[in-house]
Amino acid sequence: MRRALALAATGAAAAAATTTARRVARFRPVEQPAVPVDLDGLDADAVAQRLAELIRIPTVSSRDPGQVDAAAFETYRARLAELYPRTHEALEREVLGDGALLYRWRGTTDEPPLVLMAHYDVVPVAGQEWSRDPFSGLVEDGCVHGRGAIDDKGSMVAVLEAVEALVVEGFTPRRDVYLSFGNDEEVAGVGARLAVEAFTARGIRPWAVIDEGGAVVSGMFPGVPGQVAVVGLAEKGLLDVELVTTDAGGHASSPARGGAPARLAKAILALEADPFPARLHDVVVGMIDAVGRQAPLGYRALFAHAAQLRPVLASVLARAGREAGAMVRTTVAVTRLEGSRAANVLATRALAHLNIRIALGESVQSTVERLRRVIDDPSVEVRVVSGNDPSPVSRADNEAFALLGAAARATYPEAVVAPYVMVQASDARHFSQICDSVYRFMPFDLSREELSALHAADERISIAALHRGAGFFRHLIRSV
C-alpha cells in the first residue's frame, strides 16, 4: 500500500510539473532569425529635432477639462501634419472624440492589421525641480530633454519616422497598418476606447497591437549583466479607493482619543503591516526562464527551476526592490490625505486616497474584500472611485510575438527578449477586448536614470535610442 501511495504521489508530482512546464512554455518566445536592422535613410539629428519641436508644445492632460489647453493639442495635431507630410498624404486620418488620432495605411492584402499605438498627452511638471525648462525641447549632451521625451512622444515620433521613410521609398505594407494615437492616456481617458469601438463597429480584429511599456534594460536581473528587451504581455489592474471616516469634530483644545484621523491612520498602518501576498504568475516565470538562459551557471540552475521554486522566488523578488516587488504582488500606495481645513479645528472627516495596482490572478472585488478584512474597522468606509481588473495575458507562442522579438534582436543584437508583467496602466488594455496579441514595448535602450525620470524631473531620451527605435518600427513594418 505504501509503495502504491508513493508511486501515486510521484506520478501526481510529475503530472503537476508537466502541467506547469506546459503553462510556462506558452510564454517562451518562438525565435525568428533576426536580420540586422537598417538605419540608412533615418537621420538621427533630424529625428531628434522633430521630437524637440513636439516637446515644445505643452499637451498637458488633466482630469479637469477646465485645466486642459485645447489650443495646444490642436497645435500639436497640426504640427504633426507639417512634420510628416508624406505620411499624411498616404494614410487616411480621422479624429476621434476630443483629439484621439486614428490613421489607416492600406496594405496589399485583407489580412488582419497591425496597430501601433502611442499617446501625445503628458503629465504636469508642477512641483518638480527640473535642471532645464521641461518644455524647451533642448537637444544637448546627446539627448532630447523635456516632458514627453520618453512618455510617450518619443514612441510616437519613432513610429512616424518609420512610416514617413517607408512612404518616401514607395513601400506598401502587406497588411493594413493602423496608427492609434491617444490624447488622454495619462488621465485614463476615452481616446483608446473610441478607437476600439471604431474597430469593433467595422468588424476589425487586429493581428497584433504594440503600445508603450517595457524597454531594453541592463542590469535589471541578478547575474544577467547584458541587455534584456522586456515585452509586456499583460498589465496589472488599476483601482482607486478612498478610505473615509467621520467624527463629531470640535475645538482642537479638547480632543478625544480615537478621532477620525487616528482611526484613518490605524487603517493605513494595518495595510502597511499586512501587504498583499507575493505570488509568481506564469508570465513572470516565463520571464525568469528566458533571462535565466543567459545567466552564469549558478543562477542558471536556480532560474531553470523557477516553476518549482515559486514561493521562494516570489519572496526574493518581493524584497529585491520596488519594481521587482510590484511584479509579484498587488501594491497599495497612499497618494493623498485630507483632514481638517483649520489648524485649531478637529476633523469631522478624514480621507485617504489609495492608488492600487492589482496583480494578475486577482480582481477589483477580491482586492476590496481584502482591504476591508485587513482594516477590520466598520467605521472606516472603503469607497471604490474607479477600477478595472488586470488585462488578459497575450500570446507569446505565435508569429506576432516572434516577429516582434526578431525586430528587437535585429535592433539590439545582444539583447535577450523576455515577457513580463507591466505594473503601470496603458491604453493597450482596451485593445485586449478585440486582440489576443497586445504587446507593451518601447524599442529604446534606457538606463535606470532615464527610467526613473518618467513622470519626474529631467525626463530625456538619447538621440541614439530614438534613432534605433525608428529603425525598429521600420524593420517590423517591413516584416509583417
Indicate the range of 7-16, 88-97, 123-132, 144-153 predicted with least confidence: 7-16
Domain of 349 in residue numbering reads as 237-388
Same domain? 80 vs 218: yes
* pLDDT, averaged across the chain: 90
pLDDT score for 150: 97
**Rounded CA gap, 441 and 228, in Å?**
12
Give the cell for residue 39: 538605419
Same domain? 251 vs 181: no
Q: What is the CATH number of the domain that holds 187?
A: 3.40.630.10
- Mind listing the pLDDT tens digit for each residue in 97-136? 999 999 999 999 999 999 999 999 999 999 999 999 999 9
Give the cell for residue 239: 483601482
Cis peptide before 110 (omega within 30 of 0): no
- Mind listing the pLDDT tens digit for each residue in 327-362? 899 999 999 999 999 999 999 999 999 999 999 999
pLDDT score for 331: 96
How deeply is 20 buried, as exposed, middle or buried, from its count of CB atoms within 10 A (0-12, 13-18, 19+)?
Answer: middle
User: 221 or 331: whose pLDDT is higher?
Assistant: 331
Q: What is the pLDDT confidence band of residue 24, given thresholds at 50, 70 and 90?
A: low
Same domain? 282 vs 191: no
Same domain? 167 vs 213: yes
Residues 365, 367, 373, 378: is their CA dihedral positive or negative?
A: negative
What SS3 class is residue 210? strand
Pairing of the two strands 416-422 and 250-251? unpaired
Give the cell for residue 471: 529603425
Indicate the range of 72-81, 94-103, 317-326 predicted with least confidence: 317-326
Q: What is the pLDDT confidence band of residue 268, given thresholds at 50, 70 and 90?
A: very high
User: 79 or 310: whose pLDDT is higher?
Assistant: 79
> Using an 8 Å Cβ cutoff, are 302 and 309 in contact?
yes
Same domain? 331 vs 283: yes
pLDDT score for 8: 35
Of 373, 388, 403, the domain-final residue:
388
Q: What is the CATH number of the domain that holds 365?
A: 3.30.70.360
- Mind listing the pLDDT tens digit for each residue in 407-423? 999 999 989 999 999 99
Is the predicted pLDDT of residue 399 greater than 60, yes or no?
Answer: yes
Give the cell for residue 456: 519626474
Is the predicted pLDDT of residue 223 greater than 90, yes or no?
Answer: no
Same domain? 62 vs 176: yes
Asked, for residue 164, whether it belongs to a domain, the answer is: yes
Domain count of the fold of the chain = 2
- Mind listing the pLDDT tens digit for each residue in 435-457? 999 999 999 999 989 999 999 99
- Mind listing the pLDDT tens digit for each residue in 305-315? 777 888 888 88
Average pLDDT over residues 289-310: 77
Same domain? 275 vs 204: no
pLDDT score for 300: 74
Is the predicted pLDDT of residue 6 greater than 60, yes or no?
Answer: no
Is the predicted pLDDT of residue 18 greater than 50, yes or no?
Answer: no
Is the predicted pLDDT of residue 16 greater than 50, yes or no?
Answer: no
Residues 18, 22, 27, 31: is their CA dihedral positive or negative?
A: positive
In sequence order, what are the residues at sequence separation of 6 or more whose Cβ sits closer than 8 angstroms to the Cβ of residue 324? 317, 318
Residue 117: count of CB within 10 angstroms of its CB: 28
pLDDT score for 29: 55
> Using an 8 Å Cβ cutoff, are 321 and 221 in contact?
no
> Where are the strands (E) in 89-172, listed by range?
92-96, 100-105, 114-119, 139-140, 143-145
Q: What is the pLDDT confidence band of residue 28, given thresholds at 50, 70 and 90?
A: low
Q: What is the pLDDT confidence band of residue 33, given thresholds at 50, 70 and 90?
A: low
Residues above pLDDT 70, as percent of the chain: 93
**In the chain, what is the greatest distance between 2 CA atoms, to the nearest angstrom?**
81
Is the predicted pLDDT of residue 69 greater than 50, yes or no?
Answer: yes
Same domain? 73 vs 161: yes
Task: Report the DSSP beta bridge partners of residue 60.
Answer: 122
pLDDT score for 2: 35
pLDDT score for 15: 42
Same domain? 68 vs 202: yes
Asked, for residue 13, whether it belongs to a domain, the answer is: no
**DSSP letters for 361-405:** T--HHHHHHHHHHHH--TTSEEEEEEEEPPPPPPPSSSHHHHHHH
In sequence order, what are the residues at sequence separation of 6 or more whose Cβ sits closer than 8 angstroms to the Cβ of residue 94? 101, 102, 198
What SS3 class is residue 285? helix
Indicate the range of 9-18, 287-296, 301-310 predicted with least confidence: 9-18
Give the cell for residue 112: 488582419
Same domain? 429 vs 371: no
**Which single residue is written with the C-alpha cell 498637458?**
60
**Rounded CA gap, 371 and 127, in Å?**
31
**Which single residue is written with the C-alpha cell 483629439?**
99
